[in-house]
Amino acid sequence: MSKTLIRNASVVFPDRVADANVLIEHGKIVAIDAPESVSAQHVIDARGLVLFPGLIDDQVHFREPGLTHKEDLRTASQACAAGGVTSFLEMPNTKPSATNQTLIEEKYALAAIKSVVNYGFYIGASTSNVQDLKAAVGVPGIKIFIGSSTGDLLVDDQESLERIFAETTLPICAHCEDEKTVNENMSRLPSDRTVADHSRVRDHRAAFIATKRALDLAYRHHHRFHVLHLSTAPEIELVKDHRNLITCELCPHHWYFSVDDYATLGTLIQMNPSIKTKHDTEELWKALVDGVIQVVATDHAPHTLEEKRQPYPASPSGLPAVENYFSLLLDRASRGECSWTQIASWTSDAPARVWGIVGKGRIEVGYDADLVLVDPTLKKTIRNEDQFTKVKWSPWNGVTLTGWPVKTFVGGQVVFEQGQIVSTTCGRRLGFDHARGGFWNTPDGIGV
């Protein structure tokens, strides 16, 4: 395979941003201080551009198999590449739900012929598949829906949860909203509910109770646990007590939108966990910047506009985000609200470490050449019609952001440039080293 030199880029390393010449060969980074004169078949002059490690979105719903009228692994992975995402970890609530190795391997086989970026698939927990969870291999971890959402995966009885935490060894992540509280809230509210009531049904208490319950299971069974999509300020206090076991994550809609936005966006921002108050968005962003939250992921969950426009509560929960969250962060950096090294940590290094993803997450010699070149001054307005996701809409339609990916490399190959997908298949199955994985047991610890 040929050599590629990316020269004069501002390179985002874990601890600094510095000008460097990055040399790629056989899909790997082989030098970060290559002389300008080094011979290479492809030379990219990146003066004025910023080179980030490719993003790893550890929470996406790509709908294949079974729900491909909403999204499939080709359209979703193209959306990834356009957004600077070079690897994704996909959730099990497809149709059928991915609850055993055979179904997981079917997804891997589909991704091998459809995905233009790298891929991994979680195994889903049910009340009756502990043996499958114990036998699972080649997956990032186990996903538990402690509260129900899209699909029929739900484990909320204590006995099943105790068994899963006690008997399995893979890291666990969970959707934390308390089913009982949600049902009680629903029965208390009038039957002519509007979408604003979604945040009263799936309220602060529901999130807090379920997150606390999951953390208690993780502590008692000494089990690595990742809290997906935190949505409330009070949960931040809970995850501070990480005991070298707990990591957590924030999604763009939970720092960007608040209940005030239902008035203009309605069911487009109907999500599980629900959108909360302005105060929550501010506290969650602060917890991210302060290092209490380690990972930023999207929970990309596309539904067609037709489905979303049904009157609440027939409208499904979920929104597409994978191709815009990097720019939402870059825009914040352009306003001095966070740094590029923080963005690289939240979106690449931290997810690689949480799930023990082999060879990913940093721009360092020996790491895979999954990279994204960014123009930090480029201003662009998000438009529904420009989206690569099959559903062709974004809750950020009309929002102008500064800082956009201009070229995405997967394993050293250019997949996205000048607004176009330029490659068909070059993603690979991700490798997971759970013995080395886990955020807190790495020598450099949090925040690098």
Q: Please report, as ranges, the residues that interact with ligand DOR according to CB under 6 A.
A: 61, 93, 149-150, 175, 271-272, 299, 301, 317-318
Q: By C-beta, is 252 or 318 nearer to ligand DOR?
A: 318
Q: By C-beta, is 321 or 372 nearer to ligand DOR?
A: 321
Cβ–Cβ < 8 Å for 10, 333? no
Q: At closest approach, how far in Å is the CB of 317 from ligand DOR?
A: 3
The CA distances from residue 328 to 77, 298, 316, 333, 380, in Å, are 19, 11, 24, 9, 11
Q: At closest approach, how far in Å is the CB of 62 from ligand DOR?
A: 10
The catalytic residue among 178, 299, 370, 375 is 299
Q: Which of 371, 441, 432, 436 is nearest to 407 (CA)?
A: 371
- Whole-angstrom Cα Rg for the chain: 21
Cβ–Cβ < 8 Å for 227, 214? yes
How far is residue 258's CA from residue 231's CA, in Å, rounded to a whole number? 10
Q: At closest approach, how far in Å is the CB of 364 from ligand DOR?
A: 33
Which residue do the tokens 């931040």 mark?
236
Q: By C-beta, is 254 or 362 nearer to ligand DOR?
A: 254
Q: Are strands 4-12 and 50-53 parallel, antiparallel or unpaired?
A: parallel
Q: At closest approach, how far in Å is the CB of 152 from ligand DOR?
A: 12
Element (H, E) at 30: strand 28-31
CB atoms within 10 A of CB 445: 10
Residue 374: beta bridge partners? 50, 405
Q: By C-beta, is 6 or 174 nearer to ligand DOR?
A: 174
Q: By C-beta, is 92 or 171 nearer to ligand DOR?
A: 92
CB atoms within 10 A of CB 161: 22
How far is residue 423's CA from residue 235's CA, in Å, rounded to a whole number? 42
Active site residue 299: yes
Cβ–Cβ < 8 Å for 345, 445? no
Q: At closest approach, how far in Å is the CB of 271 from ligand DOR?
A: 4
Q: By C-beta, is 271 or 352 nearer to ligand DOR?
A: 271
How far is residue 203's CA from residue 124's CA, in Å, rounded to a whole number? 25
What's phi and psi for 59, nearest 5 deg? -150, 95
Q: At closest approach, how far in Å is the CB of 150 from ligand DOR?
A: 3
* Active centre residues (catalytic): 299
